[in-house]
């Protein structure tokens, strides 16, 4: 059973398009996260939700909008995609806000 | 969060113990040491964490010095599947506020046949 799953695994799209990445966890965790890993492999937190409430919002363009319909899901919607948005996006979850995190397999986004 | 320093890369022979060091000389009393790893093209994987006592689980052992300024992650019998980037992170576990996890550049461990 997959603990943290993301769809799609690969996403290729053109500049200016709007796309969404979905994340689901079946661990019963209260906290979920989105991370971005760029081409230099730096992994940076973007957002975190605890019990559907946004608790951290790093310096991320407002073209990125997370949505948490329930505790088990945290989706990432990106408007007006730019070349610099190309990266691997990881979803993660943890039992509560300061516990160890469990990551999904990642979504490789390529903007052309 | 306290800053950590790790070697950029290390090699280890298959079947031998891999000892990955981490310096965290500015660690605070309430900060834990966490280790994650990222195998190529996969999401990071939690390994182990500790405060001041040595810890062991099915994946690894964590040795923290008495002054807590450094620690060592030990993979007792490295296999080729342990080839990955290993991240040492320190963070507090305050019940209020949120302590974000800051991944540095980590140590790239290459297990050699």
Peptide bond into A8 cis (omega under 30): yes
Mean pLDDT rounded to a whole number for chain B: 91
Q: Are A106 and B106 in contact (CB under 8 A)?
A: no
pLDDT attached to residue A56: 78
CA distance B42 to B38: 6
Backbone φ and ψ of A83, nearest 5°: -55, -40
- Closest approach of B100 to chain A, Cα-based (Å): 8
Query: What does the alpha-carbon distance between residue A26 and residue A39 come to, in Å, rounded to a whole number?
Result: 29
pLDDT of residue A59: 77
Nearest residue in chain A measured CA to CA from B108? A41
Mean pLDDT across A93-108: 91
CA pair distance B19, B88, nearest whole angstrom:
13
- CA distances (Å), A28 to each of A6, A23, A32, A71, A73, in order? 16, 14, 11, 8, 11
Cβ within 8 Å, pair A98-B85: no
Q: Is the pLDDT of residue B28 over 90?
A: no
DSSP per-residue string spanning A13-77: E-TT--EEEEEEE-S--SEEEEEEE-TT--EEEEEEEETTEEEEE-S--TTEEEEEEETTEEEEE
Q: What is the count of residue pairs from A and B with beta carbons less than 8 Å apart? A: 49
State whether A97 and B44 contact (CB < 8 Å).
no
pLDDT of residue B86: 98
Q: Taking CB atoms and an 8 Å limit, are B100 and A56 in contact across chains?
A: yes
pLDDT at A91 over 60: yes
A102, B93: Cβ pair inside 8 Å?
no
Distances (CA, A) of A20 to A9, A63, A78, A92, B56: 12, 11, 6, 16, 40
pLDDT digits (tens, 9 = 90+) for B30-61: 889 999 999 998 999 999 999 998 999 999 99
Residue B2, SS3 per DSSP: coil
Averaged pLDDT for residues B66-90: 96
Check: CB of residue B104 under 8 Å from CB of residue A60: no
Evaluate whether B89 touches B35 at the Cβ level (below 8 Å): yes
Q: Is A106 on the interface with B (CB under 8 A)?
A: yes
> Which residues 48-67 of B have a C-beta within 8 angstroms of A?
49
Residue A4 in contact with partner chain B when CB distance is under 8 A: yes
Cβ of A102 within 8 Å of Cβ of B41? The answer is no
pLDDT tens track for A23-54: 999 999 999 999 999 988 888 999 888 888 88
B7 lies within 8 A of chain A by CB: no
**Pairing mode, strands A64-70 and B61-64:** unpaired
The answer to whether B103 contacts A44, with C-beta atoms less than 8 Å apart, is yes
In the structure, what pLDDT confidence band is assigned to residue B98 with cuts at 50, 70 and 90? low
The number of beta carbons lying within 10 Å of the beta carbon of residue A67 is 14
Contacts of A44 in chain B (CB under 8 A): 103
CB distance A42–B105 less than 8 Å?
yes
Beta strands at B9-13 and B107-112: parallel, antiparallel or unpaired: parallel
Give the model's pLDDT for residue A39: 86
């Amino acid at each position: 059973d997959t603990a943290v799953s993301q769809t799609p695994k690969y996403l290729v799209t053109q500049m200016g398009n709007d796309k969404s990445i979905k994340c689901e966890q079946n661990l019963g965790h209260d906290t979920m996260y989105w991370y971005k890993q760029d081409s230099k492999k730096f992994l940076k937190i973007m957002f975190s939700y605890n019990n559907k409430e946004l608790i951290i919002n790093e310096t991320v363009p407002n073209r990125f909008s997370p949505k948490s319909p329930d505790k088990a899901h945290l989706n990432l919607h990106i408007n007006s995609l730019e070349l610099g948005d190309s990266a691997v996006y990881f979803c993660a979850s943890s039992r509560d806000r300061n516990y160890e995190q469990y990551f999904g397999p990642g979504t490789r986004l390529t903007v052309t | 969060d306290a800053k950590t320093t790790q070697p950029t890369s290390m090699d280890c022979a298959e079947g031998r113990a891999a000892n990955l060091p981490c310096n965290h000389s500015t660690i605070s009393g309430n900060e834990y040491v966490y280790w994650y790893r990222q195998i190529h093209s996969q999401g990071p994987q939690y390994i182990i964490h500790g405060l001041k006592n040595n810890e062991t689980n099915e994946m690894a052992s964590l040795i923290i010095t008495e002054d807590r300024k450094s620690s060592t992650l030990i993979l007792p019998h490295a296999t080729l599947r342990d080839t990955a980037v290993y991240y040492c992170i320190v963070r507090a576990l305050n019940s209020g506020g949120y302590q974000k996890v800051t991944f540095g550049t980590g140590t790239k461990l290459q297990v050699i046949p």
